[in-house]
Amino acid sequence: MSERIALIDYGAGNLRSVHNALAAAGAEGVAVTADADIVRAADRIVLPGVGAFGHCRDALAGLPGMIEALGDAVIDRARPFLGICVGMQLMAARGEEHGVHEGLGWIAGTVRPLVASDPRLKIPHMGWNDVDLAGSPPLLESGEAYFLHGYAVELDDPGAAYAVTDHGGPVTAAIGRDNMIGVQFHPEKSQGYGLSFLRRFLDWQP
Amino acid sequence: MTVRTRIIPCLDVANGRVVKGVNFVELQDAGDPVEQARVYDAAEADELCFLDITASHEERDTLLHIVERTAAVCFMPLTVGGGVRAPEDARRLLLAGADKVAVNSAAVSRPELVADMAERFGSQCVVGSIDARLTGSGWEIFTHGGRRATGIDALAHAQRLASLGAGELLVTSMDRDGTKDGYDLQLIRAIADSVPVPVIASGGVGTLDHLVAGVAEGHADAVLAASIFHYGTHSIAEARAALAGAGIPVRGVKNVG
Protein backbone atom coordinates (compact mmCIF):
# COMPACT_ATOMS: atom_id res chain seq x y z
CA MET A 1 0.00 0.00 0.00
CA SER A 2 1.37 3.37 -0.90
CA GLU A 3 1.96 5.89 1.83
CA ARG A 4 -0.52 8.57 2.76
CA ILE A 5 1.27 11.87 2.36
CA ALA A 6 -0.51 14.96 3.69
CA LEU A 7 0.30 18.26 2.02
CA ILE A 8 -1.29 20.85 4.25
CA ASP A 9 -3.51 23.40 2.53
CA TYR A 10 -3.94 26.40 4.79
CA GLY A 11 -4.31 28.98 2.07
CA ALA A 12 -0.71 30.16 2.37
CA GLY A 13 1.32 27.79 0.29
CA ASN A 14 2.33 27.37 -3.32
CA LEU A 15 0.52 24.06 -3.16
CA ARG A 16 0.46 23.27 -6.84
CA SER A 17 4.22 23.66 -7.19
CA VAL A 18 4.95 21.53 -4.14
CA HIS A 19 2.41 18.92 -5.22
CA ASN A 20 3.91 18.79 -8.72
CA ALA A 21 7.42 18.43 -7.34
CA LEU A 22 6.44 15.66 -4.89
CA ALA A 23 4.80 13.81 -7.77
CA ALA A 24 7.92 14.27 -9.91
CA ALA A 25 9.97 12.91 -6.99
CA GLY A 26 7.85 9.77 -6.98
CA ALA A 27 5.10 10.44 -4.45
CA GLU A 28 1.81 8.76 -5.27
CA GLY A 29 -0.65 9.18 -2.46
CA VAL A 30 -0.45 12.92 -1.85
CA ALA A 31 -3.55 14.38 -0.21
CA VAL A 32 -3.80 18.15 -0.41
CA THR A 33 -5.79 18.73 2.72
CA ALA A 34 -7.04 21.15 5.34
CA ASP A 35 -8.52 18.27 7.36
CA ALA A 36 -6.88 17.66 10.75
CA ASP A 37 -7.99 14.01 10.78
CA ILE A 38 -6.24 13.30 7.49
CA VAL A 39 -3.06 14.94 8.79
CA ARG A 40 -3.27 12.93 12.02
CA ALA A 41 -3.54 9.68 10.06
CA ALA A 42 -0.87 10.53 7.49
CA ASP A 43 2.35 8.57 7.12
CA ARG A 44 4.30 11.64 6.06
CA ILE A 45 3.52 15.37 6.31
CA VAL A 46 4.60 18.39 4.26
CA LEU A 47 3.91 21.95 5.41
CA PRO A 48 4.58 24.51 2.66
CA GLY A 49 4.23 28.24 3.10
CA VAL A 50 4.91 31.51 1.37
CA GLY A 51 4.24 35.02 2.53
CA ALA A 52 4.24 36.49 6.01
CA PHE A 53 4.95 34.35 9.10
CA GLY A 54 2.13 35.82 11.19
CA HIS A 55 -0.41 35.44 8.41
CA CYS A 56 0.64 31.83 7.88
CA ARG A 57 0.56 31.08 11.60
CA ASP A 58 -2.94 32.52 11.90
CA ALA A 59 -4.11 30.61 8.83
CA LEU A 60 -2.72 27.33 10.18
CA ALA A 61 -4.22 27.95 13.61
CA GLY A 62 -7.51 28.77 11.90
CA LEU A 63 -7.91 25.17 10.68
CA PRO A 64 -9.90 23.35 13.37
CA GLY A 65 -7.70 20.91 15.29
CA MET A 66 -4.74 21.25 12.91
CA ILE A 67 -2.09 22.39 15.41
CA GLU A 68 -3.09 19.54 17.72
CA ALA A 69 -3.12 17.02 14.87
CA LEU A 70 0.39 18.09 13.87
CA GLY A 71 1.56 17.61 17.44
CA ASP A 72 -0.02 14.15 17.58
CA ALA A 73 1.47 13.01 14.31
CA VAL A 74 4.91 14.63 14.39
CA ILE A 75 5.79 14.73 18.09
CA ASP A 76 3.86 11.83 19.60
CA ARG A 77 3.90 9.40 16.67
CA ALA A 78 7.13 10.54 15.01
CA ARG A 79 5.81 10.79 11.48
CA PRO A 80 8.37 12.25 9.05
CA PHE A 81 7.70 15.98 8.63
CA LEU A 82 9.02 18.50 6.11
CA GLY A 83 8.52 22.26 6.44
CA ILE A 84 9.32 24.45 3.44
CA CYS A 85 10.13 28.20 3.65
CA VAL A 86 7.50 29.69 5.99
CA GLY A 87 6.51 26.09 6.77
CA MET A 88 10.06 25.71 8.13
CA GLN A 89 9.87 29.01 9.99
CA LEU A 90 6.67 27.83 11.67
CA MET A 91 8.65 25.02 13.30
CA ALA A 92 10.44 27.69 15.35
CA ALA A 93 9.09 28.86 18.65
CA ARG A 94 8.55 32.50 17.90
CA GLY A 95 8.13 34.83 14.95
CA GLU A 96 8.54 38.57 14.91
CA GLU A 97 7.29 39.28 11.41
CA HIS A 98 4.40 41.80 11.64
CA GLY A 99 4.21 41.51 15.42
CA VAL A 100 5.04 38.60 17.67
CA HIS A 101 3.37 35.30 16.80
CA GLU A 102 3.85 31.92 18.37
CA GLY A 103 5.13 29.21 16.07
CA LEU A 104 4.72 25.47 16.53
CA GLY A 105 7.52 25.60 19.09
CA TRP A 106 9.32 22.46 17.92
CA ILE A 107 12.71 24.10 17.43
CA ALA A 108 14.07 26.77 19.80
CA GLY A 109 14.49 29.92 17.76
CA THR A 110 13.00 33.16 16.55
CA VAL A 111 11.93 34.27 13.07
CA ARG A 112 13.38 37.71 12.41
CA PRO A 113 13.66 40.02 9.39
CA LEU A 114 16.84 39.77 7.37
CA VAL A 115 18.79 43.00 7.77
CA ALA A 116 21.09 44.34 5.06
CA SER A 117 24.53 44.60 6.66
CA ASP A 118 25.76 46.29 3.48
CA PRO A 119 23.63 48.76 1.50
CA ARG A 120 24.23 46.75 -1.66
CA LEU A 121 22.74 43.66 -0.08
CA LYS A 122 19.19 43.19 -1.32
CA ILE A 123 16.24 42.01 0.78
CA PRO A 124 14.37 39.72 0.11
CA HIS A 125 17.15 37.19 -0.26
CA MET A 126 16.14 36.03 -3.72
CA GLY A 127 17.91 33.56 -5.95
CA TRP A 128 20.21 30.54 -5.97
CA ASN A 129 22.62 30.22 -3.11
CA ASP A 130 24.68 27.63 -1.27
CA VAL A 131 23.33 25.02 1.08
CA ASP A 132 26.35 24.47 3.33
CA LEU A 133 25.91 21.54 5.68
CA ALA A 134 26.66 21.81 9.39
CA GLY A 135 27.79 18.42 10.65
CA SER A 136 26.07 15.44 9.05
CA PRO A 137 22.37 16.22 8.93
CA PRO A 138 19.87 13.74 7.47
CA LEU A 139 18.58 14.05 3.89
CA LEU A 140 20.60 17.11 2.95
CA GLU A 141 23.43 17.35 0.49
CA SER A 142 25.55 20.41 -0.09
CA GLY A 143 24.69 22.24 -3.28
CA GLU A 144 22.82 25.22 -4.69
CA ALA A 145 19.13 25.85 -4.07
CA TYR A 146 16.61 28.60 -4.73
CA PHE A 147 15.84 30.94 -1.82
CA LEU A 148 13.07 33.54 -1.67
CA HIS A 149 12.56 35.07 1.76
CA GLY A 150 12.81 38.28 3.76
CA TYR A 151 12.79 36.63 7.20
CA ALA A 152 14.90 33.86 8.62
CA VAL A 153 15.11 31.56 11.64
CA GLU A 154 17.63 32.59 14.27
CA LEU A 155 18.23 29.50 16.38
CA ASP A 156 18.74 29.87 20.13
CA ASP A 157 21.70 27.57 19.55
CA PRO A 158 23.17 28.61 16.18
CA GLY A 159 25.27 25.45 16.24
CA ALA A 160 22.09 23.40 15.94
CA ALA A 161 21.44 24.40 12.31
CA TYR A 162 21.40 21.55 9.79
CA ALA A 163 22.63 23.88 7.06
CA VAL A 164 23.40 27.53 6.47
CA THR A 165 23.67 29.83 3.50
CA ASP A 166 25.31 33.23 3.18
CA HIS A 167 23.60 36.55 2.61
CA GLY A 168 25.81 39.19 4.19
CA GLY A 169 26.46 36.68 6.97
CA PRO A 170 25.26 33.22 7.86
CA VAL A 171 21.54 32.57 7.32
CA THR A 172 19.81 29.42 8.55
CA ALA A 173 19.08 27.24 5.53
CA ALA A 174 17.83 24.08 7.25
CA ILE A 175 16.79 22.99 10.72
CA GLY A 176 15.47 19.82 12.26
CA ARG A 177 15.58 17.15 14.90
CA ASP A 178 14.53 13.52 15.12
CA ASN A 179 11.83 12.96 12.49
CA MET A 180 11.41 16.55 11.38
CA ILE A 181 13.29 18.71 8.91
CA GLY A 182 12.70 22.23 7.68
CA VAL A 183 14.33 23.98 4.74
CA GLN A 184 14.37 27.70 4.04
CA PHE A 185 15.01 27.11 0.35
CA HIS A 186 12.38 25.90 -2.09
CA PRO A 187 13.11 22.31 -3.13
CA GLU A 188 10.12 22.48 -5.47
CA LYS A 189 11.88 25.30 -7.35
CA SER A 190 15.43 24.00 -7.17
CA GLN A 191 15.41 21.76 -10.24
CA GLY A 192 17.50 18.59 -9.85
CA TYR A 193 18.90 19.50 -6.45
CA GLY A 194 15.43 20.03 -5.03
CA LEU A 195 13.81 16.98 -6.57
CA SER A 196 16.53 14.67 -5.28
CA PHE A 197 16.09 16.15 -1.79
CA LEU A 198 12.34 15.45 -2.00
CA ARG A 199 13.04 11.89 -3.15
CA ARG A 200 15.19 11.35 -0.06
CA PHE A 201 12.47 12.81 2.16
CA LEU A 202 9.92 10.42 0.63
CA ASP A 203 12.21 7.48 1.44
CA TRP A 204 13.15 8.76 4.90
CA GLN A 205 12.74 6.32 7.78
CA PRO A 206 13.99 8.36 10.73
CA MET B 1 29.78 32.56 -1.73
CA THR B 2 26.85 34.88 -2.02
CA VAL B 3 23.49 34.80 -3.75
CA ARG B 4 24.00 34.22 -7.47
CA THR B 5 23.20 36.63 -10.24
CA ARG B 6 20.15 35.23 -11.98
CA ILE B 7 19.82 34.68 -15.73
CA ILE B 8 16.18 34.95 -16.78
CA PRO B 9 14.88 34.19 -20.27
CA CYS B 10 11.61 35.99 -20.98
CA LEU B 11 8.91 34.62 -23.27
CA ASP B 12 6.39 37.00 -24.80
CA VAL B 13 3.10 35.16 -25.05
CA ALA B 14 0.05 36.29 -27.05
CA ASN B 15 -3.15 34.27 -27.18
CA GLY B 16 -1.31 31.30 -25.75
CA ARG B 17 1.49 31.31 -28.29
CA VAL B 18 5.09 32.42 -28.05
CA VAL B 19 5.50 35.56 -30.13
CA LYS B 20 9.26 35.48 -30.57
CA GLY B 21 10.19 31.84 -30.72
CA VAL B 22 13.21 29.65 -30.93
CA ASN B 23 13.61 27.19 -33.69
CA PHE B 24 14.99 24.42 -31.54
CA VAL B 25 14.95 21.39 -33.75
CA GLU B 26 13.89 19.12 -30.94
CA LEU B 27 10.67 21.00 -30.38
CA GLN B 28 7.54 19.56 -31.86
CA ASP B 29 5.71 22.84 -31.44
CA ALA B 30 8.04 25.81 -31.09
CA GLY B 31 5.12 28.14 -30.55
CA ASP B 32 4.03 26.33 -27.40
CA PRO B 33 5.27 28.25 -24.33
CA VAL B 34 5.36 25.04 -22.30
CA GLU B 35 7.66 23.33 -24.77
CA GLN B 36 10.00 26.31 -24.62
CA ALA B 37 9.85 26.39 -20.84
CA ARG B 38 11.00 22.76 -20.78
CA VAL B 39 14.00 23.63 -22.92
CA TYR B 40 14.99 26.43 -20.55
CA ASP B 41 14.42 24.21 -17.51
CA ALA B 42 16.70 21.57 -19.01
CA ALA B 43 19.27 24.31 -19.72
CA GLU B 44 19.09 25.30 -16.03
CA ALA B 45 17.89 28.84 -16.52
CA ASP B 46 17.73 30.40 -13.05
CA GLU B 47 14.15 31.57 -13.47
CA LEU B 48 11.65 31.96 -16.29
CA CYS B 49 9.44 34.91 -17.12
CA PHE B 50 6.19 34.83 -19.12
CA LEU B 51 4.98 38.19 -20.31
CA ASP B 52 1.42 38.05 -21.59
CA ILE B 53 0.92 40.59 -24.34
CA THR B 54 -2.54 39.34 -25.24
CA ALA B 55 -4.72 42.27 -26.20
CA SER B 56 -8.10 40.99 -25.09
CA HIS B 57 -9.36 39.97 -21.68
CA GLU B 58 -11.20 37.02 -23.20
CA GLU B 59 -7.95 35.22 -23.89
CA ARG B 60 -6.51 35.67 -20.41
CA ASP B 61 -7.64 32.27 -19.19
CA THR B 62 -5.41 30.76 -21.84
CA LEU B 63 -2.42 32.03 -19.90
CA LEU B 64 -3.62 30.40 -16.68
CA HIS B 65 -3.70 27.06 -18.45
CA ILE B 66 -0.18 27.62 -19.78
CA VAL B 67 1.06 28.47 -16.30
CA GLU B 68 -0.55 25.29 -14.95
CA ARG B 69 1.02 23.13 -17.63
CA THR B 70 4.41 24.79 -17.15
CA ALA B 71 4.38 24.38 -13.38
CA ALA B 72 3.67 20.67 -13.84
CA VAL B 73 6.89 20.07 -15.74
CA CYS B 74 9.29 22.88 -14.76
CA PHE B 75 10.84 23.05 -11.32
CA MET B 76 12.26 26.54 -11.43
CA PRO B 77 10.76 29.87 -10.35
CA LEU B 78 8.23 31.34 -12.74
CA THR B 79 7.30 35.02 -12.95
CA VAL B 80 4.20 35.95 -14.90
CA GLY B 81 3.22 39.46 -15.98
CA GLY B 82 0.80 41.19 -18.25
CA GLY B 83 -2.74 42.32 -17.63
CA VAL B 84 -2.66 42.09 -13.84
CA ARG B 85 -5.06 44.77 -12.65
CA ALA B 86 -6.35 43.48 -9.32
CA PRO B 87 -5.25 41.19 -6.47
CA GLU B 88 -7.69 38.61 -7.82
CA ASP B 89 -5.77 38.45 -11.12
CA ALA B 90 -2.59 37.79 -9.12
CA ARG B 91 -4.28 35.17 -6.96
CA ARG B 92 -5.41 33.17 -9.99
CA LEU B 93 -1.90 33.21 -11.45
CA LEU B 94 -0.35 32.16 -8.13
CA LEU B 95 -2.85 29.33 -7.72
CA ALA B 96 -2.09 28.20 -11.26
CA GLY B 97 1.57 27.82 -10.27
CA ALA B 98 3.25 31.20 -10.79
CA ASP B 99 5.78 32.03 -8.07
CA LYS B 100 5.82 35.77 -8.71
CA VAL B 101 3.44 38.13 -10.42
CA ALA B 102 4.54 41.31 -12.18
CA VAL B 103 2.33 44.40 -12.22
CA ASN B 104 2.94 47.28 -14.57
CA SER B 105 0.29 49.70 -15.90
CA ALA B 106 -2.15 49.12 -13.05
CA ALA B 107 0.58 50.00 -10.55
CA VAL B 108 1.18 53.27 -12.39
CA SER B 109 -2.42 54.41 -12.06
CA ARG B 110 -2.93 52.72 -8.67
CA PRO B 111 0.37 52.09 -6.84
CA GLU B 112 -1.61 50.89 -3.82
CA LEU B 113 -2.33 47.71 -5.81
CA VAL B 114 1.24 46.69 -4.93
CA ALA B 115 0.52 47.15 -1.23
CA ASP B 116 -2.70 45.13 -1.54
CA MET B 117 -0.89 42.27 -3.25
CA ALA B 118 2.00 42.33 -0.77
CA GLU B 119 -0.43 42.28 2.13
CA ARG B 120 -2.37 39.31 0.75
CA PHE B 121 0.35 37.20 -0.85
CA GLY B 122 3.63 38.49 0.59
CA SER B 123 6.22 40.85 -0.87
CA GLN B 124 8.27 37.94 -2.16
CA CYS B 125 5.81 37.30 -4.99
CA VAL B 126 5.16 40.90 -6.07
CA VAL B 127 7.30 42.19 -8.91
CA GLY B 128 6.97 45.87 -9.76
CA SER B 129 7.47 46.17 -13.52
CA ILE B 130 8.67 49.56 -14.74
CA ASP B 131 8.86 50.73 -18.36
CA ALA B 132 10.89 53.92 -18.68
CA ARG B 133 12.20 56.27 -21.36
CA LEU B 134 14.84 58.95 -21.15
CA THR B 135 13.20 62.35 -21.49
CA GLY B 136 14.46 65.90 -21.01
CA SER B 137 14.74 65.86 -17.25
CA GLY B 138 15.41 62.21 -16.53
CA TRP B 139 13.62 58.89 -16.98
CA GLU B 140 9.87 58.91 -17.26
CA ILE B 141 7.37 56.10 -16.83
CA PHE B 142 5.62 55.10 -20.05
CA THR B 143 2.69 52.72 -20.39
CA HIS B 144 1.00 50.94 -23.28
CA GLY B 145 4.15 49.35 -24.57
CA GLY B 146 6.16 52.53 -24.28
CA ARG B 147 3.78 54.70 -26.30
CA ARG B 148 2.04 56.69 -23.58
CA ALA B 149 3.90 59.18 -21.41
CA THR B 150 2.74 59.58 -17.83
CA GLY B 151 4.82 62.49 -16.49
CA ILE B 152 5.89 60.22 -13.60
CA ASP B 153 9.58 60.13 -12.69
CA ALA B 154 10.87 56.56 -13.00
CA LEU B 155 13.21 56.76 -10.03
CA ALA B 156 10.51 58.08 -7.72
CA HIS B 157 8.07 55.45 -9.00
CA ALA B 158 10.59 52.66 -8.40
CA GLN B 159 11.20 53.82 -4.84
CA ARG B 160 7.49 54.08 -4.22
CA LEU B 161 6.76 50.56 -5.46
CA ALA B 162 9.55 49.17 -3.27
CA SER B 163 8.28 51.04 -0.23
CA LEU B 164 4.73 49.79 -0.88
CA GLY B 165 5.94 46.20 -0.73
CA ALA B 166 7.19 45.11 -4.15
CA GLY B 167 9.80 42.43 -3.41
CA GLU B 168 11.59 42.98 -6.70
CA LEU B 169 11.64 45.45 -9.59
CA LEU B 170 11.80 44.59 -13.29
CA VAL B 171 13.23 47.64 -15.03
CA THR B 172 12.86 47.89 -18.80
CA SER B 173 14.26 50.66 -20.94
CA MET B 174 11.73 51.29 -23.70
CA ASP B 175 14.44 53.21 -25.57
CA ARG B 176 16.54 50.06 -25.74
CA ASP B 177 13.92 47.32 -25.90
CA GLY B 178 14.36 45.40 -29.15
CA THR B 179 17.43 47.38 -30.24
CA LYS B 180 20.15 44.87 -29.25
CA ASP B 181 22.20 47.94 -28.20
CA GLY B 182 22.45 46.87 -24.56
CA TYR B 183 20.66 47.83 -21.36
CA ASP B 184 20.24 51.48 -20.40
CA LEU B 185 22.90 51.06 -17.72
CA GLN B 186 22.41 54.49 -16.20
CA LEU B 187 18.71 53.81 -15.71
CA ILE B 188 19.28 50.35 -14.23
CA ARG B 189 22.02 51.61 -11.94
CA ALA B 190 20.10 54.67 -10.77
CA ILE B 191 17.23 52.45 -9.67
CA ALA B 192 19.30 49.53 -8.36
CA ASP B 193 21.34 51.87 -6.17
CA SER B 194 18.27 53.56 -4.71
CA VAL B 195 16.02 50.65 -3.70
CA PRO B 196 16.59 47.94 -1.07
CA VAL B 197 15.01 45.17 -3.19
CA PRO B 198 16.55 43.18 -6.07
CA VAL B 199 16.43 44.67 -9.57
CA ILE B 200 16.12 42.77 -12.86
CA ALA B 201 17.69 44.55 -15.84
CA SER B 202 15.64 44.35 -19.03
CA GLY B 203 15.54 45.76 -22.53
CA GLY B 204 18.16 45.80 -25.26
CA VAL B 205 20.40 42.76 -24.81
CA GLY B 206 22.20 41.81 -28.01
CA THR B 207 25.45 40.34 -26.73
CA LEU B 208 26.85 38.50 -23.74
CA ASP B 209 28.83 41.60 -22.84
CA HIS B 210 25.53 43.41 -22.34
CA LEU B 211 24.57 40.89 -19.67
CA VAL B 212 27.89 41.41 -17.90
CA ALA B 213 27.52 45.20 -18.06
CA GLY B 214 24.02 44.96 -16.60
CA VAL B 215 25.52 43.54 -13.43
CA ALA B 216 28.99 45.11 -13.33
CA GLU B 217 27.89 48.61 -14.35
CA GLY B 218 24.12 48.54 -13.90
CA HIS B 219 24.31 46.84 -10.47
CA ALA B 220 21.42 44.57 -11.40
CA ASP B 221 20.75 41.42 -9.36
CA ALA B 222 19.33 39.56 -12.35
CA VAL B 223 19.58 39.88 -16.12
CA LEU B 224 16.61 39.27 -18.38
CA ALA B 225 16.86 38.70 -22.10
CA ALA B 226 14.62 37.41 -24.81
CA SER B 227 15.84 37.25 -28.36
CA ILE B 228 19.48 36.27 -27.78
CA PHE B 229 18.21 33.09 -26.15
CA HIS B 230 15.16 32.47 -28.29
CA TYR B 231 16.94 32.75 -31.58
CA GLY B 232 19.76 30.57 -30.32
CA THR B 233 22.37 33.34 -30.59
CA HIS B 234 23.59 32.31 -27.15
CA SER B 235 22.75 29.58 -24.69
CA ILE B 236 22.10 29.91 -20.97
CA ALA B 237 25.43 28.15 -20.40
CA GLU B 238 27.26 30.74 -22.52
CA ALA B 239 25.60 33.56 -20.61
CA ARG B 240 26.62 31.92 -17.33
CA ALA B 241 30.20 31.48 -18.51
CA ALA B 242 30.38 35.12 -19.60
CA LEU B 243 29.20 36.35 -16.20
CA ALA B 244 31.54 33.98 -14.40
CA GLY B 245 34.42 35.15 -16.55
CA ALA B 246 33.78 38.69 -15.32
CA GLY B 247 33.96 37.52 -11.70
CA ILE B 248 30.18 37.62 -11.16
CA PRO B 249 28.80 34.83 -8.95
CA VAL B 250 26.62 32.42 -10.91
CA ARG B 251 25.25 28.93 -10.35
CA GLY B 252 27.41 25.92 -10.91
CA VAL B 253 30.70 27.81 -10.97
CA LYS B 254 32.67 27.50 -7.77
CA ASN B 255 35.83 29.48 -8.43
CA VAL B 256 34.41 32.98 -8.54
CA GLY B 257 32.89 35.29 -6.01
DSSP H stretches of helix in chain A: 15-24, 36-41, 53-61, 66-70, 86-89, 191-203
Is this prediction's ipTM beyond 0.85? yes
Among residues A86, A106, A110, which one has the least CA distance to residue A12?
A86
On whether residue B191 sits in a domain, the answer given is: yes
pLDDT greater than 60 at residue B257: no
Q: What is the per-residue pLDDT across A109-150, written as a single tens digit (0 to 9) for each?
A: 999 999 988 878 999 999 999 999 999 999 999 999 999 999
pLDDT of residue B20: 64
pLDDT of residue A1: 55
The Cα diameter of chain B in Å comes to 50
On whether residue B1 sits in a domain, the answer given is: no
On whether residue B178 sits in a domain, the answer given is: yes
8 Å CB contact between B203 and B8: no
CATH label of the domain that carries residue B91: 3.20.20.70
The structural domain count of chain B equals: 1
Q: How close, in Å, is residue A109 to chain B by CA atoms?
A: 22
pLDDT greater than 90 at residue B7: yes
Q: What is the per-residue pLDDT across B155-198, written as a single tens digit (0 to 9) for each?
A: 999 999 999 999 999 999 999 998 899 999 999 999 999 999 99
CB proximity A104 to B under 8 Å: no
pLDDT tier, B254 (very low <50, low <70, confident <90, very high otherwise):
low
Q: What is the per-residue pLDDT across A26-51, written as a single tens digit (0 to 9) for each?
A: 999 899 999 999 999 999 999 998 88
H helix or E strand, kind and range, residue B11: strand B6-14
On whether residue B91 sits in a domain, the answer given is: yes
- What's the rounded Cα separation, in Å, for the pair A111 and A62? 20
Single out the catalytic residue among A19, A56, A85, A125: A85
Chain B residues interacting with chain A (CB cutoff of 8 angstroms): 1-6, 41, 44, 46, 68, 71-73, 75-77, 94-97, 99, 121-125, 167-168, 196-199, 219, 221-222, 251-252
On whether residue B33 sits in a domain, the answer given is: yes
8 Å CB contact between A176 and A164: no
On whether residue B38 sits in a domain, the answer given is: yes
Single out the catalytic residue among B52, B131, B177, B184: B131
8 Å CB contact between A83 and A180: yes
On whether residue B114 sits in a domain, the answer given is: yes
- What's the rounded Cα separation, in Å, for the pair B64 and B92? 7
- Give mean pLDDT, residues B50-74: 83
* CB spacing of A128 vs B3 below 8 angstroms: yes
Concerning whether B29 is annotated as a catalytic residue, the answer is: no
Strand order across the A151-155 sheet: A101-102, A92-95, A107-113, A151-155
pLDDT of residue B23: 47
- Average pLDDT of chain A is 93
Phi and psi at A40, nearest 5°, equal -60, -35
Among B4, B196, B199, whose Cβ lies nearest the Cβ of A123?
B196
The pTM (predicted TM-score) of the whole model is 0.95
- Give mean pLDDT, residues B221-238: 92
On whether residue B255 sits in a domain, the answer given is: no
Chain centroid to CA A47: 6
Q: Please give the domain boundaries of chain A with CATH numbers for all domains.
A: 5-203 (3.40.50.880)
Q: Which of B6, B75, B76 to mutate to test the interface with A (most CBs of A within 10 A)?
A: B75
Q: Which of A9, A20, A198, A199 to mutate to test the interface with B (most CBs of B within 10 A)?
A: A20
- Residue A206's contacts (CB-CB under 8 Å, 6 or more residues apart) are A78, A80, A138, A178, A179
In chain A, which among 32-61 make CB contacts under 8 A with chain B?
50-52, 55
Q: Which of A166, A167, A189 to mutate to test the interface with B (most CBs of B within 10 A)?
A: A189
Which domain range does residue B76 map to? 6-246
Concerning whether A141 is annotated as a catalytic residue, the answer is: no
8 Å CB contact between A148 and B124: yes
Among residues A58, A14, A9, A51, which one has the least CA distance to residue A30?
A9
List the beta strands (DSSP E) in chain A: 5-8, 30-33, 44-47, 81-84, 92-95, 101-102, 107-113, 125-133, 143-149, 151-155, 163-166, 170-177, 180-183
Size of interface A-B (CB pairs under 8 A): 102
Among A128, A167, A194, whose Cβ lies nearest the Cβ of B251?
A128
H helix or E strand, kind and range, residue B12: strand B6-14
